[in-house]
Structure 1
Amino acid sequence: AKAAVKETVTATSKISPEEPRRSARIRISEQREKSPVLKRTPRDKQLSVILDDAAEELSKKGSPAKSLTPNTSQRSAVTSTGGRVTASRSVSVANDSQEFSDHEDIEFQSFRRDDNGVREKSYARRSASKQLQDLREFGGNIGAVAVLILVPAFIFLINHFCSGAAHRDCSFKLPTNLDEFKALSTYFNREVAVIFLLFTWAIALISTVPIGKAVKIVDEIRGQQSYVFTGLSCATFTGLAVFVAEYCYKYPLIGTISKGYNQLLVISLIHALITAALAFVKSRYVPQTSWNPYAKSGRFLSDFFLGREINPLSFNTINLKLVHYHISLTLALLFNSIILYRNVHFPALAETETDLPLLDKLTFIARNTEFEPTPVLAASLTILYLLDLLAYEHHLTHSFDLQSEGFGAQLLLRYAVFPFTLTLLPKYVAAHKLPEVPAWALAAVALIALVGLFVKRSANRLKHQYRLNPLGEKFIDLETLPTFQGRRLLVAKWWGRVRQPNYAGDILQNVALLPLLYWRFAWPPLLAVLFTVALLVHRAARLSERNAKKYNSAWQRYCASVPYSLVPKVF
């Protein structure tokens, strides 16, 4: 009987097996999943584990306990849950070194989640808007409008009151008759406009010919980039064109340019604004990933002013930024060459001396050539400044202008006014000759300019060579400061004395001619030099602010090591 009962129980257990036991916690979770009201959005697995651990600690101790688990509630949207990936990477940085960031908690806040483990969309919008506000420069739309109106007007006025026989004294004296400001000829001349347009097109065409220094770099964001610097070719071609027009075709090109100085300024400003507008329209057909991060605000005036593209190309060949850079430098070189030419008086060969050998002719010309010392020195130092920029143009490869500055109205206006602000002081000196300036003062002016040139060029050369080959033998013992982005900040030689020695040298070269105003003072030339200095100081401040955002605490350590920006012990 017992055997029969046992068989019956066994058969029954096979037909309807007993339900396995479950813990109360598992049964409650299953009921929640089946209930549509209590169903919740699935969470990140790793985040769920962290939150569950925190809940257990809270239930056990009654208060939140500090956990050794990373706080992923402050992770960035670009950071995966399985492993971190920083937004800015470098080839020279290993993955394990990218695990650390200076402002990690702040950067990872964009991955904040709500109670259900879902990312808060409203917080993402607030984070994005905050980033755009952080990248604002020049005061947004208001600053852009102010610069677009005030800078062209200021540059035109200081040049207008130093041009022509009526303003030979170079002073801000309003004429009794304002007809000169009402006349169209004050602002526009058809012949000058045609010359300027032909000049710009010629520079653009020369830029397509690969005659110059070629440099290739690998950018972290834009990949491999190639540059061919043709500045010297542009300057040489311009000089030959002027020579052919003057002496072969007898066209008074030098006189036309000198008389149309103000009209050239106006057409340069108009050309800059039109080019900026065309570049802004062109940027709509370029992926936003390649835009200037400071020109993504959505505000038209601000983005138009700063420029959406960094290095726009025309026909995938012509670098428009380099073209306008060459236009600016070559035009300034032409102005100062004319000043030098007009202040050097070559003797005329007599009929009896025309049959002399070439060497004897050159000796006769050298012995009998006369010149005005002060204008010649002013023009020569300015020409040396420009030739240095053209000869070492390839040092721009890693510069702020070429790699970070947007191709917008701000940059193009700066290029447009550069020849006129740089030439105003030599032009004023040439108009008044200043024969009373002593020789020792001329020597001091030349010394200041040469020191500035040496500081600027040696600093730029060191930076350029180090960026091209940071692992070279000559840089083994070079003092540098590491950053979390894989780059190293130079703390050696000039870069260990001030943070922007290249700008400091540039400022020295620009102020070198100011002592000449002691013998005949005028406000417009002084204001032109101060305007250039203000631009350089402001650019140094912008660069410092960008580096602070990019390198974070590494930049703070660098500033602690090199506390002065331009002038040691002063600023």
Structure 2
Amino acid sequence: MPSRRFNNGDTAMARWPGSSLYFEVQIVSYDPSTQLYSVLFKDGTDMELKENEIKSLTIFRPKKSSASPSRRRSRSRTRSRSPARTQSRGRSPGRTPKSAQKSSPVIRDSRKGDVLKVHLTPLKLQDFAVEKRNGEDVVARRALLHEQSPVIQAEEKVEEPQAKNEKVLRYSKRKEYFLESDNKEGPKEFISKPEATNILPDEYPVVEFGGAIGAALSMLSMPPLLYYLVYMCTQEDASLCNFYPHWTFSDLWDSTVFGYFALWILLLALLHLLPIGKIAHGVRLANGKRLRYRINGLLALFLVGILVAVLSYQRISLLYVYDHLHQFAASATLLSLMLSAYVFIRSRTASQEDLSTAGKSGNLIYTFFMGRELNPHIGKFDLKHFSAVHVALIGWVFNNFIMLLAEMNVQQLEIPSPSMILVNAFQLLYVLHALWHQENILTSLDIAHDGFGFMLAFGNLVWVPFVYSLQALYLVKHPVEISQAALAAIVALNTFGYVIFRRANNLKNAFRKNPEDPRLSYLNSIPTSYGSQLLISGWWGFVRHPNYLGDIIMAWAWCLPCGFDYILPYFYGFFLTGLLIHRVSRVEHQCRRKYGHDWDKYCKLVPYRIVPYVY
């Protein structure tokens, strides 16, 4: 592993992404796994840069003349001026121009003939603190709210231009650029003014999902809807027009089933805690932190598969899960409710910087639904990451396999039906892709923005494992004969959606890690005042969310093997389409606050959100 050139706390010069200008930075930390430096610019911007983008301060210091002052004076007195040498206009001999006396760095733009001056807000000692991380001192910036308004910040006193054709570029903490030229007094002309760039997202809390009323309706309707869908899939007549079944408490509750489900969650938790797999860092949160995550979901799935194989070899039937599916769903619901109550109560002692945007709304019902604390931990155990990866995805695949065994048992088949094979194969491929690229989940809206409350607890423990496997559950008692032509068409449709989904995500993540990768030189992008760039070519120049387009295509391909006798197995297609359309509005709201006017410019270049010429 190559040795690092800069230590924590060093001062250096770093190149601003997308330009050739270098600015003074403070080295905050170094990640040996990615070989990236976390640096802090004087204006408060945090970035991760490669070592070749950081230079030592000595390179930018002016070189001292080797001649002594006395020698220079003697030579200047005896040296005669050549007749061919002329004196520069407007400059008297022996006088230094005022522009050269200033200490501010001056950068000339050869294309315009102008002088570009950059004024940065100086670093303050109280903005930093020394923390212990892995036994090493790390200089970290405290998360402070800049209470002044953008206009007041923009009008902070700086040095006046000295030359007529000199332009001054001022850089405030909110990344607002304005141009002041020709030493003329008057209002300043803003080049670009992001609306909320580099401010904490909880300064302006936004109510989502209909606020308290929408949250209450969701919590009251989601469990009954889940039980209704599961019950109808197990009936011979799967018409949605049937009345809701009248269940007693004993039909839904079984203490033995709850014990088995608790053991299942404990097993997944132990697999999550295995010290195997690389450590990845999440996105930088509003409080300046970057959480560490253990990436071992694929290993956990492999170990669960070995356990299932051992149980099958020992002739221990797994059909108990299918026979008590309603009780398992009820047990999962109860556990998710208990978990939601636990994280809500413990969040009362959490600091303000650890709260989510919804956690600062002040509404009890809405906060309980959305989650008050952003990333609740029990020691080093991340509850949100564990439930989103291990419980949701592995539970989904496990339930699908149980339905495959149940179909063979109910229909007296030696091998699963082609429809069941398609559903299991398609969804297993999707989960394998998610676990193989588990690091990409860390940038999702659920992990980076949403708090951990009833919405994510119920969604990960109950909704994903039991609702996303409805197609497999439906096929247990509703066999579908499928022709080879239809089978080939469904495979082609799923492959088409998967290609869009995978290539769009891979392209986005590769560009996010290294926009200057030579392999990505064919891509076009627009710079933003936030410091990053927005893709406007490839799949991301086609629509703004091509990964959602591929996701929706795959969702409908998973429903088609169930035939057209009932609409029930198509619930997942309708649900996911509506979910992603709603998520588009949430993601774009965050992007508009992050990029400001640059996002509006991007929307004009890429006008369609998901489906070209439609939406």
TM-score, normalising length: structure 1:
0.70
8 A contact 1:343–1:376 mirrored in 2:
no
Tell me which protein shows more helix as a share of its residues: 1
Name the stretch that deviates more: 547-556 or 215-224. Answer: 215-224
Equivalent residue, structure 2, for 1:433: 479
For residues 410 and 330 of structure 1, the distance between their equivalents in structure 2, rounded to whole angstroms, comes to 19
1:273 aligns with 2:344: no
1:543 aligns with 2:587: yes
Equivalent residue, structure 1, for 2:240: 172
1:402 aligns with 2:467: no
Provide the secondary structure at the position in 2 that maps to 1:563: coil
8 A contact 1:422–1:529 mirrored in 2:
no
1:225 aligns with 2:291: yes
TM-superposition CA deviations, 1:455-505 (whole Å, max 9, x none): 111111122222223343333443122222112122221111111111111
Of 402, 419, 427, the residue aligned with 1:374 is 419
Of 223, 227, 240, the residue aligned with 1:156 is 227
Equivalent residue, structure 1, for 2:204: 131
Tell me which protein shows more strand as a share of its residues: 2
- Greater relative contact order (CA < 8 Å, ≥ 6 in sequence): 1
**TM-aligned CA deviation for residue 562 of structure 1:** 0.9
8 A contact 2:549–2:610 mirrored in 1:
yes
1:292-311 to 2 correspondence within 5 Å?
292-311=356-375
- 1:425 maps to a residue whose letter is Q
For residues 196 and 606 of structure 2, the distance between their equivalents in structure 1, rounded to whole angstroms, comes to 27
Provide the secondary structure at the position in 2 that maps to 1:570: coil
CA distance 1:331–1:376, change in 2 (3 Å)? same
- 2:536 maps to a residue whose letter is V
CA distance 1:182–1:398, change in 2 (3 Å)? closer
For residues 429 and 196 of structure 2, the distance between their equivalents in structure 1, rounded to whole angstroms, comes to 47
1:530 aligns with 2:574: yes
For residues 324 and 190 of structure 1, the distance between their equivalents in structure 2, rounded to whole angstroms, comes to 22
Of 404, 422, 426, the residue aligned with 1:340 is 404
CA distance 1:528–1:482, change in 2 (3 Å)? same
CA distance 1:209–1:80, change in 2 (3 Å)? farther
For residues 309 and 377 of structure 1, the distance between their equivalents in structure 2, rounded to whole angstroms, comes to 40
Name the stretch that deviates more: 234-243 or 209-218. Answer: 209-218
8 A contact 1:78–1:85 mirrored in 2:
no
Of 251, 270, 279, the residue aligned with 1:205 is 270
8 A contact 1:421–1:529 mirrored in 2:
no
Of 323, 330, 343, the residue aligned with 2:386 is 323
**TM-aligned CA deviation for residue 369 of structure 1:** 7.0
Which structure has the bigger radius of gyration? Answer: 1
**TM-aligned CA deviation for residue 566 of structure 1:** 0.9
Percent of counterpart pairs with the same letter? Answer: 28
CA distance 1:80–1:220, change in 2 (3 Å)? farther
8 A contact 2:278–2:295 mirrored in 1:
yes
1:490-505 to 2 correspondence within 5 Å?
490-505=535-550
1:417 aligns with 2:480: no
Provide the secondary structure at the position in 2 that maps to 1:227: strand
For residues 542 and 239 of structure 2, the distance between their equivalents in structure 1, rounded to whole angstroms, comes to 40
1:238 aligns with 2:304: yes
Q: CA RMSD in A?
A: 3.3
For residues 354 and 173 of structure 2, the distance between their equivalents in structure 1, rounded to whole angstroms, comes to 15
Of 365, 380, 387, the residue aligned with 2:432 is 387
Name the stretch that deviates more: 222-231 or 151-160. Answer: 222-231
For residues 193 and 485 of structure 1, the distance between their equivalents in structure 2, rounded to whole angstroms, comes to 49
8 A contact 1:304–1:409 mirrored in 2:
yes
Structure 1: unaligned runs, 5 residues or longer:
1-71, 111-127, 346-367
Structure 2: unaligned runs, 5 residues or longer:
1-146, 159-169, 181-188
**TM-aligned CA deviation for residue 309 of structure 1:** 2.5
**TM-aligned CA deviation for residue 452 of structure 1:** 1.3
CA distance 1:85–1:156, change in 2 (3 Å)? farther
CA distance 1:467–1:301, change in 2 (3 Å)? same
8 A contact 1:76–1:107 mirrored in 2:
no
Equivalent residue, structure 1, for 2:552: 507
CA distance 1:288–1:381, change in 2 (3 Å)? same
TM-score, normalising length: structure 2:
0.65
For residues 342 and 563 of structure 1, the distance between their equivalents in structure 2, rounded to whole angstroms, comes to 47
